[in-house]
Amino acid sequence: MRPLAVLCLSLLSLFARAADAPLTYVGTEGPGKGKKVVLIANDHEYKSEEALPQLARILAKHQGFTCTVLFGIDPKNGTIALGNPSNIPGTEALKDADLLVIFTRFQSIPVEQMQPIIDYLNRGGAVIGLRTSTHGFRYAKESPLYKYSFDYKGEDFKGGFGRQILGETWVGHYGPNHKSSTRLELVAAQATHPVLRGVKDVWAEIGAYNANPIEGSTILAMAQPLSGMKPDSPVDATKKPMPGAWVRTYKSTTGKEGRVFASTYGASGDLANDGFRRMLVNACFWTTGLEAAIQPDLKIDLIGPYNPTWLGTFKRAGAVKPADLASYDSPIFPVVPVKAK
């Protein structure tokens, strides 16, 4: 083979590997410098694939964390999947991670992809779980991974990953989703908790979940369902507030305790709310032991064009690969307006 042809093939191979590599934003300056965050996005409804790249950009550019975002990937073409199939390449990135941020729903990823997550939990790694991560994994009873399933009934790990790590498994909706949004009311007794530093006016565009966090959890915010889809919608008087955000620790198999922040919210549109976004960024600091660096005015500005699509105002302009989101200026995601009916 001619040298030029060999060079061309080598370059093509290099470009292909780069395109398949996980999406990583490298932090350079800030209190999070030296900390590695791995974010895993693969749900079927709440647009985790929009929310987590935005969070990663904020943590990296504003605060210095190095963030790797893993997505559900369609193995046929390498594009970002929307919950299906259960295929999340790159979980080995957790080997030296300081924080796992997970937003998955009913995943049954294979052993080779799940094992790095298990290893991370076994060493007591910090975890943030959002929305459907309470039921982030679903395995058949005959699976060797059934223990991590949301519906696991064994007393040794009842409720699976959701209940035993995050503090709650799937219980059910609390009010009509898509018709009711939520105001998160901060618990007065926890006003001085570092995660709530500078947090106010928290609103989520998605509806409430039932939740009764496991014993030992500290509730930071109660979720009050609203009768409407705007921050100023009236309170749904038929629904009392429900736990919507909490912190806890879990004990790993090595005996080390890992810090956890969990919320039954976190859809992509929720991150557009300054209050929710600040609480989530603060949680990244607290779970990694950096609570002393949390300032009430910590920079949390959105980065790049951000187009949450859960409400249906926009629709995706086409399929996207992780590499398409690599620039801070690239849109999350390319969209077109939805015509009014």
- Would you say residue 326 has pLDDT above 90? yes
pLDDT of the residue at 282? 98
- Which pair of structure tokens corresponds to residue 103? 């937003």
Mean pLDDT for the stretch of residues 201-223: 97
More confident position, 339 or 125: 125
pLDDT in tens, 1-46: 555 443 433 333 333 344 467 899 999 999 999 999 999 999 999 9
Q: How many CB atoms lie within 10 A of CB 110?
A: 11
Measured CA to CA, the distance from residue 211 to residue 246 in angstroms comes to: 11
pLDDT reported for residue 229? 95
Answer whether 300's CB lies under 8 Å from 62's CB: yes
What confidence score (pLDDT) does residue 315 get?
82
The per-residue pLDDT for 252 is: 95
- When pLDDT is averaged across residues 313-327 and rounded to a whole number, the result is 90
Q: In this predicted structure, what is the pLDDT of residue 187?
A: 98
Look over the chain and give the mean of its residue pLDDT values, rounded to a whole number. Answer: 93
DSSP-derived secondary structure for 104-140: E-SB---HHHHHHHHHHHHTT-EEEEEGGGGG-B---
- Check if the beta carbon of residue 276 is closer than 8 Å to that of residue 270: yes
Task: Give the pLDDT score at 80.
Answer: 96
80 vs 15: which has the higher pLDDT = 80
pLDDT recorded at residue 311:
81
pLDDT cut 70: percent of the chain above it: 93
Q: Which amino acid is at 266?
A: G
Q: Which pLDDT belongs to residue 26?
A: 97
Strand bridging mode 23-25 / 66-71: antiparallel
Tens digits of per-residue pLDDT, 42-68? 999 999 999 999 999 999 999 999 999
Nearest to 277 by CA among 263, 288, 289: 263
Closest Cα partner for 67 from 22, 126, 25?
Answer: 25
* Confidence at 161, pLDDT banded by 50, 70, 90: very high
* pLDDT score, position 76: 95
β-pair type (218-225, 182-186): antiparallel
Counting residues of the chain whose pLDDT is more than 90, the rounded percentage is 85
Domains along the chain? 21-173+246-337 (3.40.50)
- Of 128, 232, 244, which is closest to residue 184 (Cα–Cα)? 244
